[in-house]
Chain A
């Protein structure tokens, strides 16, 4: 019964008892158990990653009206293992003129930036790596390590396409970090804390999706841009720059980039669940125990991973100037206006029962105003365009 209520502490205590019974000192045993815990946790993430490869391939197949892998095992579920064997026995090529150390470090950093995020994911109460009080900043900091890995890969490959991909990625990641941070700030304002556990606790009554649906949209868009998935996959645009920053990578090194991307998407799915959808909560089902809560959390993360895939396989790639203009002229101002409105309303109606409905209505109002403004702006532009084509048209008739 103890295990059901608090699995991590129970496991820790029993391991500690069995380690110290052999005469080991308590502090050494604690460090050892922590190391074993980290290893088990990371292994769990990586095994999940193998499963995600299958999920990704199956889902993209359905979106493209195909069957996907269906030969190895039931529903092709063992296909990723065949892929792994293939990746492992491929030749490991280091291009001439490549910077060997940085070239080999880049995939490790790429995967590291994802696995770092798992340390702060609160799966359920008492099932969290560390409850940092600066978790949201930690999320941004881990993202900057990902940017670094892409620059390392692009530069060290000694390949113009790879470098081009790296340039694009950095332009994209650095600019989309701003609306993402603004959306995270909105969540911080609503929860009153930057800690992941505190944010989940603050959503006990109302999930933040109902308080700030626009912040959810902004976070989703900037998360997709941060992941470099379509429509923001300019960094590896196959039809333009071969494969972008990982053009020169072969075998398992490419596999690490690929696995990192999938796990990153899943992790961001988890962050969306924890920031806007109440983390491990699901209509009181979480009261059954932390293990059920963790399973609910994983399912929510999988669902938002599916949403990210849905966007990826539905929307075509956007042009690079559109990508930057969309961020700087639309997403960033919107995020800042929303942040100011949320902070103002949150302060004025502090502790009042009107807070939630007013916040929701203010979001709807901002969304409506934005759409109206965009409409009038588009009309103006269309009128201008028509005027210019009419003035040009007589010239072409001569």
Chain B
């Protein structure tokens, strides 16, 4: 086994273990912190795939913004912060069927994929971020999705401000 394989197994174990804890832990806030551990594991996998930009964005966006938003939501909506209840309901049978179906689908898809046995084509180019930036604004690559996403985000921002202003005026 190479060092990379050992590292991959460690990070995969972290991701799976903490993801399991997210759904089974009894305290809501602990679930949020376990989710952060999962997101860190995913960021580590990105870094191992030489996608440093993706790894950093994963931490900035998911840990720095979304996970903190989750924690805030839990803190502000629960009366008792030590609130604990069983997180499982009676839908276990349905959940098992759904996860089996998903797993089977992925298994069939990946079974026919040849990417596992092929070696990576070449060395990763040094200036990945520069390439990504050029691709995002070049008309032959991703400018349309990029602009559509920007417009969507702008609309969401304006909408948020409008809702917030309306709420203070109605008081």
Measuring CB to CB, which residues of chain A are less than 8 angstroms from any residue of chain B?
Answer: 27, 31, 97, 99, 102, 132-134, 137-138, 140-141, 143-145, 147-148, 151-152, 155, 158, 163, 167, 170, 174, 177, 193-194
Bound complex: CA of A157 vs CA of B33, how far in Å? Answer: 15
CB pair A133–B72 under 8 Å, yes or no, is: no
Q: Are A133 and B129 in contact (CB under 8 A)?
A: yes
Alpha-carbon separation in the docked complex, A39 to B71 (Å): 33
* A–B Cβ pairs within 8 angstroms, 20 of them: A31-B3, A99-B29, A133-B126, A133-B128, A134-B52, A134-B53, A134-B56, A134-B129, A137-B56, A137-B57, A137-B60, A141-B56, A141-B64, A144-B59, A147-B64, A151-B68, A151-B71, A152-B33, A155-B29, A174-B68
Asked if B9 is at the interface of the complex by the 8 Å CB criterion, the answer is: no
Indicate if B81 sits at the interface (CB-CB under 8 A): yes
A99 — which chain B residues lie within 8 A by C-beta? 29
Q: Which residues of B contact A97 (CB under 8 A)?
A: 82
Residues of A within 8 Å of B82, CB to CB, are 97, 158
Nearest A-chain residue to B81, judged by Cβ: A155
Chain B residue with minimal CB distance to A141? B59
* A25 CB to nearest chain B CB (Å): 12
> Is B63 in contact with chain A by the CB < 8 A criterion?
yes
Residue ID in chain B nearest A102 by CB atoms: B33
In the assembled complex, the CB of B25 is this many whole angstroms from the nearest CB of chain A, namely 12
The answer on a CB contact under 8 Å between B72 and A144 is no
Q: Let me know if B65 is at the binding interface, CB within 8 A.
A: yes
Please indicate the chain A residues that have their CB under 8 angstroms from the CB of B59 in the complex: 141, 144-145
> Closest CB-CB distance, A207 to chain B, in whole Å?
23
User: Closest approach, in angstroms, between the C-beta of A163 and any C-beta of chain B?
Assistant: 7
- Using CB atoms, name the residue of chain B closest to A151: B71
Residues in chain A near residue B36, CB distance under 8 A: 148
A140 and B71 contacting across the interface, CB-CB below 8 Å: no
Chain B residue with the shortest CB-CB distance to A27: B3
Extra contacts besides A97-B82, A134-B56 (7): CB < 8 Å? A31-B3, A102-B33, A133-B129, A137-B56, A141-B64, A144-B63, A167-B75
Chain A at the B interface: SS class = helix
Q: Does any Cβ of A come within 8 Å of B90's Cβ?
A: no
> Taking the complex as formed, is B123 at the interface, i.e. its CB lies under 8 A from any CB of chain A?
no
From A27, A138, A158, A163, give the contact of B56 (CB < 8 A): A138
With A97-B82, A134-B56 in contact, is A194–B129 under 8 Å at CB? yes
In the complex the two chains form, is B29's CB within 8 Å of A140's CB? Answer: no
Judge whether A147 and B68 touch: CB under 8 Å.
yes
Closest A residue to B57 by beta carbon equals A137
> In the bound complex, do residue B64 and residue A144 qualify as a contact, i.e. CB atoms below 8 Å apart?
yes
Name A136's closest neighbour in chain B (CB-CB): B56
The verdict on A163 contacting B53 (CB below 8 Å), with A133-B128, A143-B64, A152-B33 known, is no
Would you give the 0/1 interface string for B67-92, flagging 1 where the beta carbon is closer than 8 Å to chain A? 11001100100000110000000000
Given A97-B82, A152-B33, A155-B71, the answer on whether A140 and B64 have CB atoms closer than 8 Å is: yes
Give B30 Cβ to nearest chain A Cβ, in Å. Answer: 8
Contact B75 A133 (CB under 8 A): no
A213 to B85, CA, bound (A): 54
Q: Please determine whether B60 and A170 come into contact, CB atoms closer than 8 angstroms.
A: no
Docked Cα-Cα span, A147 to B52, in Å, equals 22
How far is B75's CA from A201's CA once the two chains are assembled, in angstroms?
46
Cβ of A170 and Cβ of B57 under 8 Å apart?
no
Give the Cβ gap from A188 to chain B, nearest Cβ, in Å.
9
Indicate whether A148 sits within 8 Å of B56 (C-beta atoms), given known contacts A155-B29, A194-B129.
no
Find chain B residues with CB under 8 A from A194 CB: 129
Digit string of B86-122 for contact with A (CB within 8 Å is 1, else 0)?
0000000000000000000000000000000000000
- Give CA–CA (A27, B6) in the complex, Å: 15
**Interfacial chain A residues near B52, Cβ < 8 Å:** 132-134
In the complex, what distance in Å separates the CA atom of A102 from the CA atom of B36? 13
Residue of B nearest to A143 (CB): B64
Residue of A nearest to B82 (CB): A97
Least Cβ distance of B139 to chain A in Å? 17
Cβ contacts under 8 Å, A27 to chain B = 3
CA distance A141 to B68 in the complex (A): 13
Report, nearest first, the 6 A-B pairs whose CB atoms are least far apart.
Answer: A144-B64, A137-B56, A141-B59, A134-B56, A134-B52, A141-B60
* B residues near A138, Cβ cutoff 8 Å: 56
Chain B 9-34 against A: per-residue CB contact (8 Å), 1 yes, 0 no?
Answer: 00000000000000000000100010
CA distance A309 to B56 in the complex (A): 30
Docked CA distance A138–B130 (Å): 16
| Residues of chain B contacted by A132 (CB below 8 angstroms) | 52
- Residues on A with C-beta less than 8 A from B3 are 27, 31
> Using Cβ atoms and an 8 Å threshold, which residues of chain A touch B126?
133
Q: Note all chain B residues with C-beta closer than 8 A to A147.
A: 64, 68
Contact B63 A148 (CB under 8 A): yes
A178 to B67: give the CA distance in the assembly, Å. 18
* Docked CA distance A132–B129 (Å): 11
- Bound-state CA distance A14–B143 (Å) is 51
Question: Which residue of A is nearest B128, CB measured?
Answer: A133
- Chain B positions within 8 Å of A167 at CB level: 75
Residue interface mask B46-66, A partner, CB < 8 A = 1: 000000110011011001110
Least CB distance, B84 to chain A, in whole angstroms: 11
Contact present for B64 and A137 (CB under 8 Å):
no
